[in-house]
């Protein structure tokens, strides 16, 4: 049996091809898995659990279908869906995880996270993250009418849009010392994350111990899935479905 990991699908009402591919993945693959882990940025932006749009309902329904069929599903928030909350979890049957979680993968301990917090040289982003993660601010935002929330989000998005263009690719990648610090903190040989959209398996040596960092890919042009079983893991691609 296999445990599956995905991240960075960036789903929205206007990404039909990706949404269809995600639904096919849920119905034809995830349904047979031991568990599904979503490591953040499932959504292009999640405005709040009160989103009643057809798109939001469609995605909720897919998770509900999966969890009701008996497949446990775990969700770590990304930088674009940090407002996925308890109501979403209740309505879909998923389990919402914290920023960093240690899991047991068939006897192997792994720390899983979205990956944004590993990019410690992206200082402007981390300051921004700290602001939008303040519980009191989220409490207020979650109670504002949807049409006002939409205006706030598009204003913030357009205000910060140019900031990303000025950053080097290097700044937006993980800091190796932070990777080693987090893995050392939890004393695990494996780390799994997304966010950087640089799918790869990195192996390195820390004081004589071999460590593995698996980076999931985005779903911009194809699906990216990590399949982990008792004896092996495989970072795989999926061609998009055509409907
Ligand atoms: O996802 P990706 O790769 O495109 O970019 C991320 C970082 N960007 C983000 C921004 C989100 O995509 C959009 C968020 C909209 C938020 C609306 C908030 C509404 C209020 C909610 C209150 C509870 O995550 C990008 C990283 C990149 O990853 C690295 O790969 O670099 O970070 C940025 O570009 C952020 C800028 O650096 C921050 C600029 C500071 C602006 C300060 C504005 C303060 C606004 C306070 C809001 C209340
Ligand atoms: Mn991200």
Q: CA triplet 45, 24, 13: central angle to 5 degrees? A: 30
- Ligand 2 centroid to 207 CA: how many Å? 30
Which pLDDT does position 102 carry in this prediction?
98
Is the CB of 132 inside a 6 Å radius of any atom of ligand 1?
A: yes
Is the CB of 167 inside a 6 Å radius of any atom of ligand 1?
A: yes
Tokens of 138: 């989220």
Nearest Cα to 153, choosing from 139, 141, 167, 162? 141
- Ligand 1 centroid to 124 CA: how many Å? 9
3-state secondary structure of 195: coil
Q: CA triplet 154, 198, 172: central angle to 5 degrees? A: 55
Its pTM stands at 0.97
Is the CB of 123 inside a 6 Å radius of any atom of ligand 1?
A: no
Q: CA triplet 211, 213, 218: central angle to 5 degrees? A: 170
Neighbouring residues of 131: CB distance < 8 A, sequence distance ≥ 6: 137
- Euclidean distance between CA atoms 79 and 60, whole angstroms: 19
- Euclidean distance between CA atoms 84 and 53, whole angstroms: 15
| Domain 3-238, CATH among 1.10.760.10, 3.40.630.10, 3.60.21.10, 1.25.40.10 | 3.60.21.10
Which pLDDT does position 52 carry in this prediction?
97
Domains of the chain, residue spans: 3-238
* Ligand 1, pocket-test mutation among 81, 116, 125, 148, most atoms within 8 A of CB: 125
Is the CB of 137 inside a 6 Å radius of any atom of ligand 1?
A: yes
Is the CB of 79 inside a 6 Å radius of any atom of ligand 1?
A: yes
In this prediction, the residues of the chain whose per-residue pLDDT falls under 70 are none
Tokens of 17: 């091809």
- Euclidean distance between CA atoms 191 and 223, whole angstroms: 20
Q: What is the dihedral of CA 135, 89, 80, 49, to 10 degrees?
A: -70
153 Rama class: left (phi>0) / alpha (psi -120 to 50) / beta:
alpha
Q: Which residue has the CA at smallest separation from atom 35 of ligand 1?
A: 125
Which pLDDT does position 243 carry in this prediction?
74
Which pLDDT does position 164 carry in this prediction?
87
- Ligand 2 centroid to 42 CA: how many Å? 9
Q: Which ligand is nearest to the CA of 121?
A: 1
Is the CB of 131 inside a 6 Å radius of any atom of ligand 1?
A: yes
Ligand 1 atom having least distance to the Cα of 152: 19
């Amino acid at each position: 049996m296999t445990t599956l990991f995905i991240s960075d699908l960036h789903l929205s009402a206007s990404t039909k091809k990706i949404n269809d591919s995600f639904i096919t993945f849920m119905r034809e693959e995830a349904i047979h898995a031991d568990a599904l882990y979503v490591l953040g940025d499932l959504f292009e932006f999640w405005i709040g659990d009160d989103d009643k749009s057809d798109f939001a309902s469609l995605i909720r329904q897919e998770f509900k279908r999966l969890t009701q069929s008996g497949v446990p599903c775990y969700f770590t928030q990304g930088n674009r869906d940090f407002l996925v909350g308890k109501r979403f979890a209740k309505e879909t049957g998923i389990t919402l995880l914290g920023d960093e979680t240690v899991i047991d993968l068939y006897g192997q301990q792994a720390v899983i996270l979205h990956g944004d917090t590993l990019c410690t040289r992206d200082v402007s982003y981390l300051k921004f993250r700290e602001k939008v993660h303040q519980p009191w601010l989220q409490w207020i935002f979650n109670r504002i009418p949807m049409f006002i929330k939409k205006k706030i989000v598009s204003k913030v998005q357009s205000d910060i849009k140019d900031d990303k263009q000025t950053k080097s690719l290097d700044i937006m990648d993980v800091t190796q010392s932070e990777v080693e610090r987090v893995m050392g903190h939890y004393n695990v040989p494996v780390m799994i994350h997304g966010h950087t959209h640089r799918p790869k398996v990195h192996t390195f040596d820390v004081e004589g111990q071999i460590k593995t960092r698996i980076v999931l890919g985005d779903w911009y042009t194809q699906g990216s899935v990590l399949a982990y079983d008792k004896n092996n893991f495989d970072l795989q691609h999926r061609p998009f479905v055509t409907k």
